[in-house]
Amino acid sequence: MISLSSFAQNNAIEMADKMRSNGKIYVVVSVLIIIFTGITAFLISQEIRLRKLEKKINENFSN
């Protein structure tokens, strides 16, 4: 049981350490930030278009 618990505590992630040592983790983080920024910009532009359409529809119904 003691050996099992000591094995469970050694949870170093080799892939993350290797990517961090090679500097690739920064590439992954920057790509994720670019994707997130693109999705956010797209959603904001869709919201602006939707507001314009709603305003136009409301003006047409009020006349």
Whether 43 has a pLDDT exceeding 90, the answer reads yes
Weakest-pLDDT range from 5-19, 25-39, 48-62:
5-19
What confidence tier does 42 reach under pLDDT thresholds 50, 70, 90? very high
pLDDT of the residue at 7: 55
Residue 46 lies in a domain: yes
DSSP label at residue 23: T
Give CA–CA dist 52/45, Å, rounded: 11
Residue 48 lies in a domain: yes
> Helices marked H in 1-63 — which ranges?
2-9, 14-22, 24-62
pLDDT tens readout for residues 2-18: 555 555 555 667 777 77
Give the total number of structural domains in the chain. Answer: 1
Is residue 19 within 8 A of residue 28, CB to CB? The reply is yes
Which structural domain range is residue 40 located in? 30-63
Residue 16 lies in a domain: no
pLDDT of the residue at 34: 98
With a CB cutoff of 8 Å and minimum separation 6, the contacts of 28 are 19
